[in-house]
Amino acid sequence: MPVKIRLQRHGKKAHAYFHIVIADGRAPRDGKFIEKIGTYNPTTNPASIEIDTDKAVDWLQKGAQPTDTCRAILSYKGVMYKNHLSKGVKKGALTQEQADAKLAKWMEEKEGKISGKKSSVASAKNDAHKKRMEAEAAAKAAKEAKIAAKNTPPPAEEPKVEEAKAEETAPAAEIKTEETPAADTTAPAPEA
């Protein structure tokens, strides 16, 4: 069986991190390994990867087969590109200086992309925090206004009630004055 470059799981449930190891293909996932060449933590954003590129390239040149996930990790960190360039140097297609220049240019572009992603993640996090705080402040103000309205009796309603009572009694008084007849001059005087 060939030697594999694969991940070895560590950490607790839902908080996994991995060691990138060189192991025999027949060994269990978390069992014996030949050499540890790096770590991979997918719980951070972007995922944090630390790898010894020289050891990884050396093992790739010896014939170690990376698993699909490890191939993606090695490609992301430039190990596969470095291996490709070293094959070109061995064949004489380019010199070591040209290969180093190409690798340095590629790494610089990759670092720019990674730092751009980190800054966009940080700014998105800050924007989300600001929006959440504004929404929370608005909800707090609305709640305080609702409590204040509930606790203070409205003064405008009481005069209306008094005016309504005054209006109700005023027509009754007018009616009484209209119903009482004026003193009749034609009526006989009362006897004493």
User: Which own/partner contact pairs does 157-164 have at CB distance under 8 Å and 24+ positions apart?
Assistant: none
pLDDT of residue 159: 54
List the CATH code of the domain at 3-80: 3.30.1320.10
Q: What are phi and psi of 44, to 5 degrees?
A: -85, 165
Q: What are phi and psi of 78, to 5 degrees?
A: 90, 10
Give 132-150 pLDDT, tens digit per residue.
999 999 999 999 888 888 8
Query: What secondary structure letter does DSSP report for 152?
Result: S
Closest alpha carbon to 130 in 8, 168, 122, 181: 122
User: 26 with 37: CB under 8 angstroms?
Assistant: no
Distance CA 172, CA 51 (A): 98
Entry pTM: 0.62
DSSP string, 78-109: THHHHHHHHHHHHHTSS-HHHHHHHHHHHHHH
pLDDT of residue 138: 92
Distance CA 11, CA 13 (A): 7
Specify the residue for token string 């087969």.
Answer: 65
Give the chain's residues under pLDDT 70: 1, 154-192
Q: How far is CA 143 from CA 9, 31, 56, in A?
A: 49, 58, 60
Would you kindly state where each structural domain of the chain is located, as residue ranges? 3-80, 95-160
Q: What are phi and psi of 158, to 5 degrees?
A: -65, -45
Closest alpha carbon to 44 in 133, 112, 114: 114
Closest alpha carbon to 53 in 74, 67, 39, 70: 74
Distance CA 82, CA 143 (A): 61
pLDDT of residue 65: 93
